[in-house]
Amino acid sequence: MKKNDRMSSLVWLLLALYICTESMRLPWGAWRDPGPGFLPLGSGIILGILSGIAYLKASMSKSPEAKGSWYSKERWKNLVVVVVALFAYAIFLEILGFLLATFLLLIFLFRGIEPQKWVVSIGGSALASFISYAVFELWLKTQLPKGILGF
Amino acid sequence: MDLLSNLQLAFSVIFQPGNLFFCFIGVLIGTLIGVLPGIGPVATISLLLPSTFQITPVSAIIMLAGIYYGAMYGGSTTSILVNIPGEAASVVTCLDGYQMARQGRAGPALGIAAFGSFIAGTLAVIIIMLIAPPLARFALRFGPPEYFTLMFLGLTVLTYLASGSMFKALMMACVGIFLGTIGTDTISGLERFTYRSYTLMDGVGLVPVIMGLFGISEVLLNIEQPMKREIFKTRLSNLFPTLRDWRDSILAIIRGTFIGFFLGILPGGGAVIASFGAYAVEKRISKHPERFGTGAIEGVASPEAANNAASQGAFIPLLTLGIPANVVMAILLGALMIHGIKPGPLLMKQHPDLFWGVIGSMYIGNVMLLILNLPLIGIWVKILKIPYPILFPLILLFCLIGSYSLNNNIVEVMIMILFGIVGYLMKKFEYEGAPLILAFVLSPLLENALRQSLIMSHGSFAIFLTRPISLVFFIVSIFLLVSPLMPGLKKRPKGGDLG
């Protein structure tokens, strides 16, 4: 775990640095009347100290290096595919409209990771899109995006 | 009789048809998601939060609460039949429950889990009725310094009980506090870390963060490893435990109830810790500790009672102090605030229907769960057979709709996906999400209490030490923080350590 802990504590250290520099620009206030910069700066400093110590602890630790990688070498592509699909959905949702975008996303997810039969994929996607549309748009009156096609 | 009139109010609220209906929907959904591994009460409650804006606050909280304790029931089913805990709080149930199932005693295991939960739920409601009113009266004496140190204590307890490194949990609490400060500062009106984004001006939304950290990240973790599920083929004809089973487990159920209840009240505690604690106690006091892990019925009864009692006890700090004891309570706090209700010591006076209605609903909810669970176990088992490749796109879809429909804002969907990736990495690098979320929710409350305290004391931190209640909270927090550093003290309990 040494290497993983070193890597992750560095990331948190960077975040702490960012928090501190950004909160310096906010009014810090006085002890008797702390301003908006007070708490962010405080949390940033403590996070910085903690992640600094965590980095040193991981570097000096004598425990043997963990074997194997933290991600799956065979299946990491699944992650990328799903994350890209989700972002694409978010980007195109308001253009395509809820029904179409959802239908396409579901077909993609049913087929893309562990391919289901076409019948299952198309049927399932259509069914799930319509049911969620009925429940959220028609019953609960959530306003789902209509898109350029008007549905 | 105060108690009687409160009881009467409780039942008059819950027996309104609307409330009864939403209570039923809540426990039904709760059991369902409790059965399904990979989607928990946290994600579900955040998903359904927007849809409760249409109904009254009382119905909304009754339904959301039902999801929470319903999930505790459902989680045990998968633990016993498949050795996969549907909920984190049912992890211990696997140890003896699955062994019982392998010996052909799945029926009594499921039965005692349901009856144990029911008995615990009932006892817990009675204890809540007895101790909540005095506690709320006591809390009326709290000023900003007391609230600050109490919240500080809550965060410390959570990091202390964290299953991984306490150090990392503290770091996550800092990140949570920082996330909570994003947005417009309520006191000065200045914007912090917003970069002129309209979405960020209102602060980072709780729902997208939670759904990302607990919903999306869970899916990402699962699709990285092929998930195989084997359902144990067993006949479920005899759900009723025998007389001997009852003799073995009735005391365990009562002990589990009390352990669970008090660990549930503790800020930072909760159902997971309660079930582990109850199991450890049973094993320690048993005359035959070697039977544990080989199908001892007490090993199923006690943790199941404990996690149910804990999930109800957790309502006490929320409803009397306005402080969430765990992540689910944090979302409910958010829900109450969205409905314009400020939880705290005055809640019981200002909204007695809400307070007693929710407590009454827990009782009725427990009856419904018992009825739902025993005859319907066959159906829940069938639902378990839905393969993950079909399930996960639907979970993702729910998260997408949930984060979008809150404010009809696509940026919040992006924030959710982002936190999904963050949550995935946090799991991989062994950082816990719970301290982050609790700190995130408490951050604005914590900041107000801190700033008001310092204004009151003209800038002196001594104000936290000179007021007796606040001093006690402070000493306990400091003790918890430094205790892992002291060599003489026993190792702190860990989530995975069964003793």
Per residue in B471-494, pLDDT tens?
Answer: 998 998 998 888 777 655 545 444
Task: State the pLDDT at residue B179.
Answer: 93
Question: Both A56 and A88 in a single domain?
Answer: no
Query: pLDDT at residue A52 above 60?
Result: yes
Residue among B193, B396, B446 whose CB faces A22 most closely: B193
Question: Both A89 and A113 in a single domain?
Answer: yes
Residues 70-129 of A with CB under 8 A from B: 70-72, 75-76, 78-79, 82-83, 86-87, 89-91, 93-94, 102, 105-106, 109-110, 113-114, 116, 120, 124, 128
Residues 37-56 of A with CB under 8 A from B: 37-40, 43-44, 46-47, 50-51, 53-54
Task: State the pLDDT at residue A65.
Answer: 65
Tens of pLDDT, residue by residue over B96-151, are 888 888 888 888 888 888 888 889 988 988 888 888 888 888 888 888 999 899 88
On whether the CB atoms of residues B305 and B117 are closer than 8 A, the answer is yes
Q: Which one of A24, A80, A114, A116 would you mutate to disrupt binding with B, by most B Cβ within 10 Å of its Cβ?
A: A114
Residue among A50, A75, A109 whose CB faces B167 most closely: A50
Predicted confidence band of residue A88 (pLDDT cuts 50, 70, 90): very high
Query: pLDDT at residue B499 above 60?
Result: no
Name every residue whose Cβ is closer than 8 Å to that of residue B157 and which is 6 or more positions away in sequence: B266, B267, B268, B269, B480
Q: How far, in Å, CA of B452 to CA of B218, rounded?
A: 39
What stretches of B49-105 show up as alpha helix (H) in DSSP? 57-82, 91-102
Question: Both A46 and A86 in a single domain?
Answer: no
Answer yes or no: is A105 within a domain.
yes
How far off is chain B from A88, nearest CA to CA, in Å? 10
Tens of pLDDT, residue by residue over B180-227, are 999 888 788 888 888 888 888 888 888 888 888 878 888 888 888 765
Question: Both A54 and A91 in a single domain?
Answer: no
Answer yes or no: is A145 within a domain.
no
For chain B, percent of residues with pLDDT exceeding 70:
92
Answer yes or no: is A134 within a domain.
yes
Nearest chain B residue to A45 by CA: give it.
B174
For chain B, percent of residues with pLDDT exceeding 90:
13
Residue among A8, A36, A83 whose CB faces B185 most closely: A36
Task: State the pLDDT at residue B494.
Answer: 45
What's chain A's length in residues?
A: 151
Question: Both A56 and A82 in a single domain?
Answer: no
Task: State the pLDDT at residue B277.
Answer: 84
Question: Both A54 and A94 in a single domain?
Answer: no
Domain end position, chosen among A60, A88, A108? A60
Task: State the pLDDT at residue B383.
Answer: 77
Q: How far, in Å, CA of B288 to CA of B296, rounded?
A: 10
- Which residue type is seen at B370? L
How many structural domains comprise chain A? 2
Q: How far, in Å, CA of B311 to CA of B295, rounded?
A: 25
Task: State the pLDDT at residue A86.
Answer: 94
Nearest chain A residue to B185 by CA: give it.
A36
Residue among B54, B181, B405 whose CB faces A39 most closely: B181
Asked if A61 has any chain B CB less than 8 Å from its own CB, the reply is no
Answer yes or no: is A97 within a domain.
yes
Tens of pLDDT, residue by residue over B343-354, are 888 888 888 888
Answer yes or no: is A65 within a domain.
no
Owning domain of residue A125: 76-139
Question: Both A83 and A135 in a single domain?
Answer: yes
Task: State the pLDDT at residue A87.
Answer: 94
Name every residue whose Cβ is closer than 8 Å to that of residue A151 and which is 6 or more positions away in sequence: A97, A99, A100
Tens of pLDDT, residue by residue over B389-398, are 888 898 888 8
Tens of pLDDT, residue by residue over B37-64, are 667 787 788 777 777 777 888 899 999 9
Residue among B392, B428, B454 whose CB faces A32 most closely: B454
Question: Both A29 and A56 in a single domain?
Answer: yes
Interchain proximity A1–B405, CB inside 8 Å? no
Q: Which one of B207, B211, B397, B413 would you mutate to disrupt binding with A, by most A Cβ within 10 Å of its Cβ?
A: B397
Tens of pLDDT, residue by residue over B59-89, are 999 999 999 888 888 888 878 887 777 677 7
Task: State the pLDDT at residue A43.
Answer: 92
Predicted confidence band of residue A17 (pLDDT cuts 50, 70, 90): very high
Question: Both A81 and A134 in a single domain?
Answer: yes
In chain B, what residues touch A113 (CB-CB under 8 Å)?
Answer: 223, 389, 392
Q: Which one of A86, A91, A94, A127 would you mutate to disrupt binding with B, by most B Cβ within 10 Å of its Cβ?
A: A86
Predicted confidence band of residue A47 (pLDDT cuts 50, 70, 90): very high
Query: pLDDT at residue A23 above 50?
Result: yes
- A75-89, B20-34, B235-249: range with lowest mean pLDDT: B235-249
Asked if A59 has any chain B CB less than 8 Å from its own CB, the reply is no
Predicted confidence band of residue B275 (pLDDT cuts 50, 70, 90): confident
Q: Provide the whole-model pTM.
A: 0.82
Interchain proximity A35–B188, CB inside 8 Å? yes
Task: State the pLDDT at residue B496.
Answer: 39
Task: State the pLDDT at residue B38.
Answer: 65
Tens of pLDDT, residue by residue over B97-109, are 888 888 888 888 8
- Per-residue exposure over B440-475, b if at least 16 CB sit within 10 Å of its own CB, e if not: bbbbbbbbbbbbbbbbebeeeeebbeebebbeebbe
Interchain proximity A71–B450, CB inside 8 Å? no
Q: Report the phi/psi class of residue A68: left, alpha or beta, with left for phi > 0 and alpha for psi in -120 to 50.
A: left
Asked if A147 has any chain B CB less than 8 Å from its own CB, the reply is no
Interchain proximity A93–B226, CB inside 8 Å? no
The ipTM value here is 0.91
Answer yes or no: is A146 within a domain.
no
Tell me the mean pLDDT in the region B247-273.
Answer: 84
Question: Both A56 and A83 in a single domain?
Answer: no
Q: Which one of B172, B196, B404, B421 would you mutate to disrupt binding with A, by most A Cβ within 10 Å of its Cβ?
A: B404
Which H or E element spans position A83?
A: helix A76-96
Among B367, A126, B162, A45, which Cα is nearest to A134's?
A126
Nearest chain A residue to B226 by CA: give it.
A75
How far off is chain A from B236, nearest CA to CA, in Å? 31
Tens of pLDDT, residue by residue over B285-312, are 888 888 888 888 888 999 999 988 988 8
In chain B, what residues touch A38 (CB-CB under 8 Å)?
Answer: 447, 450-451
Give the SS3 label for residue B335: helix
Task: State the pLDDT at residue B495.
Answer: 43
More confident residue, B431 or B493: B431
Would you give the DSSP letter of residue B52?
G
Mean pLDDT of chain B: 83
Answer yes or no: is A71 within a domain.
no
Question: Both A56 and A86 in a single domain?
Answer: no
Residue among A22, A34, A106 whose CB faces B454 most closely: A34
Which H or E element spans position A34?
A: strand A33-34
Tell me the mean pLDDT in the region B444-450.
Answer: 88
Q: Which one of A6, A22, A43 would you mutate to disrupt binding with B, by most B Cβ within 10 Å of its Cβ?
A: A43
